[in-house]
């Protein structure tokens, strides 16, 4: 039997500038500086038969050059391999760099390659990625985050929310976690009063409350009928999140900052999340996301993947229970295609694979490339 083989890998380090510096609670508490750019790692894989796959990962603030450097070291291990054997190749790439761990930056570098392999496999089959995996739906509920950051005046947050809903987006998430709890409550009150009770509304504290503050704020926020309260505590405080999840009616959502399936499994074991928020580029790619998705389903958890809607739309569509996908417009300039939205839902594209091609801007913002070829 003749099998296709991987013959070429192209890696690109891309710096995406943001139009406005972005601040969430981590900036207001002094832990981070405003974000001005996003670093992306793109992987383009080609086979001897001419099939191609595109994948990407990202880093907000530090880490982008490290992801690129690690991917450049392990990518040669793909040459000559059958691209269909994605699980085996994920393991091979992870063990190639096992001395720096099987989570964090190392597996984030592997994620871009893993996603490219899944994109390639779906394209070879002539199917959208969601259909290759096995979709439960052709569209997913979506909510907007990019208009609700803490540096944005509440009047503008309300205008942004109205524009998002007018474009067909189904829900709105705003940031909280301001050092002055009265500011948070005033902003949530204003947004809820403007939107009315029927519009799905979420809040995100970005890990900036301690346990007493989180207890107090979750109690105060109960009256707003929120879809969830996100990251009220440090991402690794499974016991603290579990206490909140058991004490309040409003669901607790967390998981986006974790960088492996094993870390998420700790949340699941502790009962720390009503809604799990994995990020495929952060946990090692689609191969790992599917493992985690199965675990979440077995424990009857809701799913709302973090960021990277271009990838997560397909993955959310394969989850048995009705999920959410996060609409973020930041990455749109990198691609020639746009996600279609209607009636509060994001539609799975009918294009093969992820259905993405890199734009001229993505090429222009490329700061470094590496070509890996066999022979």
Is 300 a known active-site residue?
no
Do 206 and 301 fall within a single domain? yes
Do 218 and 325 fall within a single domain? yes
Question: According to the model, what pLDDT value does residue 135 have?
Answer: 97
Q: Does the residue 234 lie in any domain?
A: yes
- The reply to whether 24 sits in an annotated binding site is yes
- The reply to whether 204 sits in an annotated binding site is yes
CATH code for the domain in which residue 10 is found: 3.30.390.10
Do 185 and 219 fall within a single domain? yes
- The reply to whether 206 sits in an annotated binding site is yes
Do 242 and 97 fall within a single domain? no
Do 107 and 151 fall within a single domain? no
Q: Does the residue 1 lie in any domain?
A: no
Q: Does the residue 261 lie in any domain?
A: yes
Q: Does the residue 354 lie in any domain?
A: no
Determine contact, residues 234/210, Cβ cutoff 8 Å: no
Range of the domain at 289: 130-347
Estimate to the nearest angstrom the gap between the alpha carbon of 240 and the chain centroid: 23
Question: According to the model, what pLDDT value does residue 370 have?
Answer: 94
Question: According to the model, what pLDDT value does residue 27 have?
Answer: 84
Determine contact, residues 291/268, Cβ cutoff 8 Å: no
Name 175's Cβ contacts closer than 8 Å, sequence gap at least 6.
24, 25, 148, 149, 150, 203, 204, 205, 206
Question: According to the model, what pLDDT value does residue 242 have?
Answer: 98
- The reply to whether 61 sits in an annotated binding site is yes
Do 29 and 14 fall within a single domain? yes
Short-list 116, 128, 126, CA closest to 83 = 116
Instruction: Give per-residue pLDDT as tens, 167-221.
Output: 999 999 999 999 999 999 999 999 999 999 999 999 999 999 999 999 999 999 9
Determine contact, residues 327/146, Cβ cutoff 8 Å: yes
Determine contact, residues 201/227, Cβ cutoff 8 Å: yes
Q: Does the residue 343 lie in any domain?
A: yes
What would the two tokens of residue 162 be?
A: 């109205």
Q: Does the residue 191 lie in any domain?
A: yes
- The reply to whether 197 sits in an annotated binding site is no
What would the two tokens of residue 216 be?
A: 């107090």
What would the two tokens of residue 335 be?
A: 């691609």
Q: Helix (H) and strand (E) counts for the chain?
A: 14, 14
Question: According to the model, what pLDDT value does residue 375 have?
Answer: 56
- The reply to whether 368 sits in an annotated binding site is no
| 3-class SS of residue 270 | helix
Given 175, 178, 264, 327, which residue is catalytic? 175
What would the two tokens of residue 340 be?
A: 């279609």
Question: According to the model, what pLDDT value does residue 273 have?
Answer: 96
Q: Does the residue 353 lie in any domain?
A: no
Q: Does the residue 249 lie in any domain?
A: yes
Do 175 and 86 fall within a single domain? no
Do 287 and 367 fall within a single domain? no
d(CA 310, CA 326): 10
Bridge partner list, 38: 16, 60
Determine contact, residues 334/362, Cβ cutoff 8 Å: yes
Short-list 73, 64, 118, CA closest to 95 = 73
Cβ atoms within 10 A of the Cβ of 331, count? 19
Give φ, ψ of 215 to 5 degrees.
-60, -45
pTM to 2 decimals? 0.95
| DSSP symbols for 304-360 | ---S-HHHHHHHHTT-SS--EEEE--TTGGGBS---EEETTEEEPP-SSBT---B-H
Bridge partner list, 124: none
Do 161 and 60 fall within a single domain? no
| 3-class SS of residue 41 | strand
- Count of structural domains, the chain: 2
Do 15 and 87 fall within a single domain? yes
- The reply to whether 230 sits in an annotated binding site is yes
Estimate to the nearest angstrom the gap between the alpha carbon of 6 and the chain centroid: 27
Q: Which residue bears the tokens 């190749």?
A: 89
Question: According to the model, what pLDDT value does residue 214 have?
Answer: 97
CATH code for the domain in which residue 267 is found: 3.20.20.120
Given 70, 121, 241, 306, which residue is catalytic? 306
- The reply to whether 85 sits in an annotated binding site is no
* pLDDT beneath 50, residues of the chain: none
Determine contact, residues 308/58, Cβ cutoff 8 Å: yes
Pairing of strands 139-144, 345-347: antiparallel
Do 303 and 161 fall within a single domain? yes
Do 323 and 177 fall within a single domain? yes
- The reply to whether 60 sits in an annotated binding site is yes
Count of residues making up the chain: 375
């Amino acid at each position: 039997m003749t099998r296709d083989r991987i013959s070429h890998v192209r890696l690109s380090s891309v710096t995406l500038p943001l139009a406005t510096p972005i601040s969430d609670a981590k900036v207001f508490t002094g832990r981070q500086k405003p974000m001005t750019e996003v670093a992306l790692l793109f992987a383009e894989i080609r086979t001897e038969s001419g099939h191609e796959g595109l994948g990407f990962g990202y880093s907000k603030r530090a880490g982008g050059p490290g992801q690129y450097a690690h991917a450049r070291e392990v990518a040669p291990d793909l040459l000559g391999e059958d691209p269909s054997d994605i699980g085996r190749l994920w393991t091979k790439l992870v063990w190639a760099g096992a001395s720096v761990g099987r989570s964090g930056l190392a597996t984030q570098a592997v994620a871009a390659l893993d996603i490219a392999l899944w994109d390639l496999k779906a394209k070879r089959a002539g199917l959208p990625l969601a259909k290759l995996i096995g979709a439960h739906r052709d569209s997913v509920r979506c909510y907007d985050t990019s208009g609700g950051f803490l540096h944005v005046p509440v009047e503008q947050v309300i205008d942004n929310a109205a524009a998002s809903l007018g474009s067909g987006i189904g829900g709105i998430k705003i940031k909280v976690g301001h050092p002055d709890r009265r500011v948070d409550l005033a902003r949530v009150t204003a947004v809820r009063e403007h939107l009315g009770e029927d519009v799905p509304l979420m809040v995100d504290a970005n890990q900036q409350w301690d346990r007493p503050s989180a207890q107090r704020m979750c109690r105060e926020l109960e009256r707003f009928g929120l879809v969830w309260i996100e990251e009220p505590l440090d991402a690794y405080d499974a016991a603290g999140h579990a206490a909140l999840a058991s004490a309040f009616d409003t669901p607790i959502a967390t998981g986006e900052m974790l960088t492996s399936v094993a870390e998420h499994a700790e949340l699941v074991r502790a009962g720390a999340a009503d809604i799990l928020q994995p990020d495929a580029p952060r946990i090692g790619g689609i191969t790992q996301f599917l493992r985690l998705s199965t675990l979440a389903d077995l424990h009857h958890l809701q799913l709302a993947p973090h960021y990277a809607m271009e990838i997560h739309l397909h993955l959310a569509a394969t989850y048995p229970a009705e999920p959410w996908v996060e609409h973020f417009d930041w990455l749109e300039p990198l691609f020639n295609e746009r996600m279609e939205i209607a009636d509060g839902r994001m539609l799975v594209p009918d294009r093969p694979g992820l259905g993405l091609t890199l734009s001229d801007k993505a090429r222009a913002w490329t700061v470094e490339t590496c070509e890996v070829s066999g022979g």
